[in-house]
Structure 1
């Protein structure tokens, strides 16, 4: 399966505040907040949801196509993605703008305050999925992740016109999109990714009930942080996959992207959705233990041991077989 991932490409500036944001908020004064947090650690890392997911797929032995727009400073980042197994030939490089920036501060409760600067990401709307599809010799699945909103809508429409299955992952952009735009991104998707909050926001934005959303997508994957993943079923129930316990959390940034990468890699390798979700949870736990979204080291033997410990020997055997050859 040839997976293409469209989404943001960014540089992350990750800081840690040794305290609690909540302690700095004064009841009755929230309409005029003016706060500065003295951080005691700064990490500058590669990121962006499109690049993070593509990186994870590359770590799991696939050769994903990354579709997005980066800036004049992209050369070193591009080299590292290529080394990680990501096909960057379809990345548009701006002639004047810098790569997008994600600036995020995390407190002791793992709450985060972040700002995102789009930069070159605004040029993603000029990428033609039809051209990428032809140049790559075909795309079997296109994930449409958080990106320039016009790009997300254009990519989705083109994929449907070309009968390319879509994995819809609007995530952070739900707050900017109107009803018809969200409906256009979701309706007819083979897969839909949201976290628990986004699932409620998506229903509010679309005006559709949970059942109406389910009826319009093939599979809906809802992440619940430390409570794992749920997969709503056509009958109205839910299959649940618990998260992998991770006592030594270093940084939550990029965990959802890793889960998506593991899930899609599992599907590409022939795993059923529950097994794919278990692989996704295991990869997400690995990201939790490192600072940055692409700094983790995937060791197949350790990954298999984690899966066996949490999900049992049968799950580990199925996933080992699916990942055979990954080093």
Structure 2
């Protein structure tokens, strides 16, 4: 199964604050916040949700198609991804804008303050996904990740029109999207990915109940941080999968993207939803152990060892087809 990953491609500026960010916020002064943090470290890394997920898939031996918009400064980043096995035929290069920038300050407790400058990402809506799929040799599954909102909608419509299975992963863009647009992104998706906060935001903005969401999508995966994830499907009881916690955390940034890469890799191999989530949790643990979102490695035996330690010997062996997780 060949997978296309659409979404942001960025440069991450990652900083660490030695105190607790929440302690700097005064409850009676939240109407006028003016804070400056003296940080201990600055690391400049390759990032962006689509690039992070594509990186994870490539580390697991897949050759994903990366779809997104960048500036001319993407050259070295793109060459590195291509060298790892990512197909960059779907990347649009802007003539005048820089690649998007993500600036994030993290404290030792995992709290973060972040800003995102879209830059060339604003041109992503010019990408014709149908043409990309033709030029790149076709794909079997498309993940529509956080991107310029109009690009996300265009890619979703292309998938729906061409009957290409797609996964909806609006993540950070839920804050900018209205209920109508969110509904269009979700309706008919094979999978929907959110975190716990995004789950509540999606329900609030659409006005849907959980059952109404599940009538519109095949499988809803909600990541819960250190608590793992929950998997919901219409007519099935909720399943909870614990996180893999065997590796010390160096940086929480990008763990959700690694989870998606691990999940997608198992999905492509025909594994059931629980195995997909377990594989995602194991890859997320490896990502958490490295500073940056595209710096972790996956050596032979890494994932089987983590899966066995966290879930037992059976978790590291292939499972049956995923027919139960897909809608008929």
Q: Where on the TM-score scale, by shorter chain, does this alignment land: which range?
A: over 0.9
What corresponds to 2:148 in structure 1?
148
Alignment of 1:156-235 (within 5 A): 156-235=156-235
What corresponds to 1:84 in structure 2?
84
What corresponds to 1:325 in structure 2?
none
What corresponds to 2:48 in structure 1?
48
**Could you list the per-position Cα deviations for residues 60-80 of structure 1 after superposition, in whole angstroms to 9, with x for gaps in the alignment?**
111000000010101100110
Alignment partners' CA distance in 2, 1:17 and 1:130: 44
Would you say the 8 A contact 2:72–2:93 is kept in 1?
A: yes
**Could you list the per-position Cα deviations for residues 287-313 of structure 1 after superposition, in whole angstroms to 9, with x for gaps in the alignment?**
000000000010121221111111111
Residues 96 and 176 (structure 1), Cα distance of their counterparts in 2 relative to 1, 3 Å cut: same
What corresponds to 1:241 in structure 2?
241
Alignment partners' CA distance in 2, 1:127 and 1:102: 22
Q: Within the alignment, does 1:125 sit opposite 2:145 as a pair?
A: no
Would you say the 8 A contact 1:246–1:288 is kept in 2?
A: no
Q: Within the alignment, does 1:13 sit opposite 2:13 as a pair?
A: yes
How many residues are treated as equivalent by the alignment? 319
What corresponds to 1:66 in structure 2?
66
Alignment partners' CA distance in 2, 1:22 and 1:307: 34
TM-score w.r.t. length of structure 1: 0.96
Could you tell me how far 1:236 is from its partner in structure 2? 5.3
What corresponds to 1:263 in structure 2?
263
Q: Within the alignment, does 1:2 sit opposite 2:30 as a pair?
A: no
Alignment partners' CA distance in 2, 1:221 and 1:298: 24
**Could you list the per-position Cα deviations for residues 20-49 of structure 1 after superposition, in whole angstroms to 9, with x for gaps in the alignment?**
111111121111000000001010000000
Alignment partners' CA distance in 2, 1:261 and 1:74: 21
TM-score w.r.t. length of structure 2: 0.96
Which aligned segments of 4 or more residues in structure 1 are displaced greater than 6 angstroms? none
What corresponds to 2:283 in structure 1?
283
Alignment partners' CA distance in 2, 1:305 and 1:290: 18
> Any unmatched runs of 5+ in structure 2?
320-328
Alignment partners' CA distance in 1, 2:282 and 2:44: 25
What corresponds to 2:325 in structure 1?
none
Alignment partners' CA distance in 2, 1:233 and 1:63: 29
Would you say the 8 A contact 1:246–1:289 is kept in 2?
A: no
**Could you list the per-position Cα deviations for residues 150-203 of structure 1 after superposition, in whole angstroms to 9, with x for gaps in the alignment?**
100011011100001110000000000011100000011011000111111111
Could you tell me how far 1:283 is from its partner in structure 2? 0.1
75-84 or 129-138, which moves further after superposition? 129-138
Could you tell me how far 1:246 is from its partner in structure 2? 4.1
**Could you list the per-position Cα deviations for residues 121-160 of structure 1 after superposition, in whole angstroms to 9, with x for gaps in the alignment?**
0010000011012112222111000000010001101110
Q: What secondary structure, in the 3-state scheme, does the structure 1 residue paired with 2:240 have?
A: strand
> Any unmatched runs of 5+ in structure 1?
320-327
Would you say the 8 A contact 1:5–1:143 is kept in 2?
A: yes
Would you say the 8 A contact 1:211–1:236 is kept in 2?
A: no
Could you tell me how far 1:233 is from its partner in structure 2? 2.8
Alignment partners' CA distance in 1, 2:115 and 2:171: 15
Would you say the 8 A contact 2:247–2:285 is kept in 1?
A: no
**Could you list the per-position Cα deviations for residues 46-100 of structure 1 after superposition, in whole angstroms to 9, with x for gaps in the alignment?**
0000000001011111100000001010110011000121000110001111000
